[in-house]
Chains A and B, each alone.
Chain A
Amino acid sequence: MKVQNNKAWFMVLPVLVLVAISAIIPLMTVVNYSVQDTFGNNEFFWVGMEWFQEILASERFHNALMRTLLFSGLILAIEIPLGIAVALAMPRRGIGVSVCLVLMALPLLIPWNVVGTIWQVFGRVDIGLLGHTLASLGIDYNYTQDTLDAWLTLIAMDVWHWTSLVVLLCYSGLAAIPEVYYQAARIDGASRWAIFRYIQLPKIKRVLVIALLLRFMDSFMIYTEPFVVTGGGPGNATTFLSIDLVQMAIGQFDLGPAAAMSLIYFLIILLVSWVFYTVMTIDDNEEQSASAKGRS
């Protein structure tokens, strides 16, 4: 029999301990809350799947989930194409490259609550540059009272904040394409669109998957910025899952339902990310199995 060398486990032990403290134990606490009810005094009662059933059936949860999905869908539909377009338009050499990269990186370096505050002030009708300008142009804009205005403000803010990430990822992907592909395309008489469709897009696909995943997960979990700008309002118009969750857990102190909702929230992100990743990497897997077959 082959002698197993288990020394490696000692090497990974410190990491396991860290991960346990930082992730697994808190997660288990949430699991623990989600199947119990409490009336204070540290007394807990087993309720089983009740909270999950309640959350999944509640209209409040459905609405928040729909709002969050809509928000993620919209910002992905804007940020991904816009990011690609900006990356394509960026200079490839010279001083322009550094200038562009620095400008692009700036929004990414600003703390999230500061971004929220910037846009909160920016959009105010009385003193904000954006709000005031729109008002003086005769446009009835008020993100604290109008649902559409609130949504437009949040989407504009997220696009401003995060498109750079997509740009930087795409730019790195584009920069890695060997010059010879463009030369071959010129010899073959390819149009600008054909070059994008058959050379650039396939070559940046991998980084695009990363960009899409990051932007989906981030936007689906968005909390700080809308909390600062709209606080979930007007009414519940911008109450995304995260804001709803915090209201439930800290505002109402419904620990059980909040824990159940957290887990459902987590599983949705996991599921959607998995679906995205699987769909977008289908080709690679095909290729791998094809070349494996070719070798055998």
Chain B
Amino acid sequence: MATIKLQGIAHSYNDKSAGIIKPADYAVNSLNQCWQDGGAYALLGPSGCGKTTLLNIISGLIKPTEGRILFDDVDVTDLIPEQRNIAQVFQFPVVYDTMTVAENLAFPLRNRGMAAAEIESRVKTVLSMLGLDSRADSRARSLNADDKQKISLGRGLVRTDVKAILFDEPLTVIDPHLKWQLRTELKKIHQQFKHTMIYVTHDQTEALTFADKVIVMHEGSIVQIGTPQQLFEQPGHTFVGKFIGSPGMNVLPCQIEGSEVLIGGIRINLQRTINNTGEKFEIGVRPEHIQLSAETGMSVEVVAIEDVGRHVILRARLEGIEINIIVSEGVAIPESPKVIFDIDKINLYANDYRVADNN
């Protein structure tokens, strides 16, 4: 196990020798990030934001165009995957068709020339860990997708001193009712063995339930690193606010006047001093943090009401900007509703990045 450090990592799939790479050509760009030993991380972001590229850079499948990567302060940038001793579980389960389940698990150890007796004992341990004991001698290809995915994981777990286990959207092909179960098992394995785990996903539920720390990526850059709670309450970037939450955060363009923000004709006193730097200001407020009232507050025009079961989503227009409001079930929606933002839950953004509270 190891602490993994990225130093100025950037990668472009365009050949560097072909000329100068434009910033837009980078799949990931100038990443500096430290993954603590034993941490459970989730890399969250929409498709095409560079998550998989970053994962492949860590495992060594891709050599980054720029930057260095260190395991426990040892530079491994030029090492091949085998030497880095990283385990990786892919989106689609990879099993070696002609081998049995046990042979599949033994494969990475055999390749490393481990003694047969030790291979056998390690394989046995991993088989029981994954609950595959009874299938040990079955042909691997006769298994279901979720068992196959367990084998992919097992080939990582079986190795001694694996530096980290990387998951690349491992639950994509798993039946929904098994996803939850497999995720719980992953969590259990993590607590038991304390491997450093990095889990790539575009599903926020998966990321938030799996990880201690979530790294949100957007267009090749990391926009925020934080606990699930931080991502929810203090999104570092308007993208994070919109991406996390269902529905996402309401982002409203505004102007700054002293400690007040102006949204169209409405003034809200944020009750804190604001550093008035930057050109573009916005406030972000979660649909959960908007109260509905019949008497006081800002008037909104109702656009639609969606009942999603646990609660009702009220889609309304405030000063011409569409916002979502979550209304608890059973709460009546007034004829001409007014809304109040929870002042302490409002985040202020300058040029899309969150302005830190300084009170």
Q: Is A178 an interface residue (CB 8 A)?
A: yes
For window 224-249 of B, CB contacts with A under 8 Å fall at none
User: Shortest distance in angstroms between A290's beta carbon and chain B's nearest beta carbon?
Assistant: 5
Residues of A within 8 A of B155 (CB): 184, 188
Judge whether B107 and A180 touch: CB under 8 Å: no
Judge whether B88 and A183 touch: CB under 8 Å: yes
Residues of A within 8 A of B90 (CB): 180, 183-184
Residue of A nearest to B108 (CB): A188
In the bound assembly, the distance between CA atoms of A178 and B90 in angstroms comes to 12
Residues of A within 8 A of B81 (CB): 186-187, 189
Residue of B nearest to A291 (CB): B142
In the bound assembly, the distance between CA atoms of A189 and B108 in angstroms comes to 6
Judge whether A198 and B59 touch: CB under 8 Å: no
Q: Is B329 an interface residue (CB 8 A)?
A: no
User: If the complex has contacts A202-B97, A287-B141, A291-B142, are A187 and B87 also in contact, measured as CB distance less than 8 A?
Assistant: yes
In the bound assembly, the distance between CA atoms of A188 and B92 in angstroms comes to 16
Q: Is B61 an interface residue (CB 8 A)?
A: yes
Residues of A within 8 A of B96 (CB): 198-199, 202
In the bound assembly, the distance between CA atoms of A146 and B92 in angstroms comes to 58
User: Shortest distance in angstroms between B236's beta carbon and chain A's nearest beta carbon?
Assistant: 32
Contact partner, A198, options B56, B99, B156, Cβ 8 Å = B99
Q: Is A74 an interface residue (CB 8 A)?
A: no
Q: Is B212 an interface residue (CB 8 A)?
A: no
Q: Is A294 an interface residue (CB 8 A)?
A: yes
User: If the complex has contacts A183-B88, A186-B61, are A290 and B142 also in contact, measured as CB distance less than 8 A?
Assistant: yes
**Chain B: interface secondary structure?**
mixed
User: Shortest distance in angstroms between A30's beta carbon and chain B's nearest beta carbon?
Assistant: 43
Contact partner, A187, options B88, B91, B98, B99, Cβ 8 Å = B88
Q: Is A191 an interface residue (CB 8 A)?
A: yes
Residues of B within 8 A of A181 (CB): 94
Residues of B within 8 A of A188 (CB): 82, 107-108, 111, 155
Q: Is B86 an interface residue (CB 8 A)?
A: yes
Residue of B nearest to A194 (CB): B111
Q: Is A190 an interface residue (CB 8 A)?
A: yes
In the bound assembly, the distance between CA atoms of A286 and B100 in angstroms comes to 14
Residue of B nearest to A186 (CB): B81
For window 178-225 of A, CB contacts with B under 8 Å fall at 178, 180-181, 183-184, 186-191, 194, 198-199, 202-203
For window 95-151 of B, CB contacts with A under 8 Å fall at 96-99, 107-108, 111-112, 138-139, 141-142
Q: Which of B56, B88, B94, B152 has the most CB of A within 10 A?
A: B94
Residues of B within 8 A of A180 (CB): 90-92, 94
Residues of A within 8 A of B60 (CB): 186
Residue count of chain A within 8 Å CB distance of chain B: 22
User: Shortest distance in angstroms between A76's beta carbon and chain B's nearest beta carbon?
Assistant: 22
Residue of B nearest to A183 (CB): B61
Judge whether B80 and A186 touch: CB under 8 Å: yes
In the bound assembly, the distance between CA atoms of A198 and B152 in angstroms comes to 15
Residues of B within 8 A of A199 (CB): 96
Residues of A within 8 A of B152 (CB): 184
In the bound assembly, the distance between CA atoms of A286 and B97 in angstroms comes to 13
Residues of A within 8 A of B108 (CB): 187-189
In the bound assembly, the distance between CA atoms of A188 and B56 in angstroms comes to 14
Contact partner, A189, options B59, B111, B141, B142, Cβ 8 Å = B111
For window 108-129 of A, CB contacts with B under 8 Å fall at none
User: Shortest distance in angstroms between A93's beta carbon and chain B's nearest beta carbon?
Assistant: 13
Residues of A within 8 A of B139 (CB): 286-287, 290
User: Shortest distance in angstroms between B138's beta carbon and chain A's nearest beta carbon?
Assistant: 8
User: Shortest distance in angstroms between A157's beta carbon and chain B's nearest beta carbon?
Assistant: 35
In the bound assembly, the distance between CA atoms of A234 and B171 in angstroms comes to 67
In the bound assembly, the distance between CA atoms of A292 and B350 in angstroms comes to 60
Q: Which of B61, B139, B155 has the most CB of A within 10 A?
A: B61
Residues of A within 8 A of B97 (CB): 198, 202-203
Judge whether B111 and A184 touch: CB under 8 Å: no
Residues of B within 8 A of A202 (CB): 96-98
Residue of A nearest to B138 (CB): A290
Judge whether A189 and B92 touch: CB under 8 Å: no
In the bound assembly, the distance between CA atoms of A194 and B86 in angstroms comes to 19
In the bound assembly, the distance between CA atoms of A54 and B222 in angstroms comes to 84
Contact partner, B98, options A184, A198, A294, Cβ 8 Å = A198
Residues of B within 8 A of A291 (CB): 142
Residues of A within 8 A of B94 (CB): 180-181, 184
In the bound assembly, the distance between CA atoms of A53 and B156 in angstroms comes to 65
In the bound assembly, the distance between CA atoms of A187 and B55 in angstroms comes to 13
In the bound assembly, the distance between CA atoms of A235 and B163 in angstroms comes to 71
In the bound assembly, the distance between CA atoms of A180 and B92 in angstroms comes to 8
In the bound assembly, the distance between CA atoms of A184 and B107 in angstroms comes to 11
Contact partner, B142, options A184, A190, A287, Cβ 8 Å = A287
Can you pick out 9 interface pairs between chain A and chain B where the beta carbons lie within 8 Å of each other? A180-B92, A184-B152, A186-B61, A187-B59, A187-B88, A188-B155, A198-B97, A287-B141, A290-B142
**Nearest 4 Cβ contacts at the A-B interface:** A189-B82, A184-B94, A188-B108, A189-B111
Known: A187-B61, A198-B98. 12 other contacts (CB 8 A): A180-B92, A184-B155, A186-B61, A187-B82, A187-B88, A188-B107, A188-B108, A198-B97, A202-B98, A287-B141, A287-B142, A290-B139
Residues of B at the A interface (CB closer than 8 Å) are 56, 59-61, 80-82, 86-88, 90-92, 94, 96-99, 107-108, 111-112, 138-139, 141-142, 152, 155-156
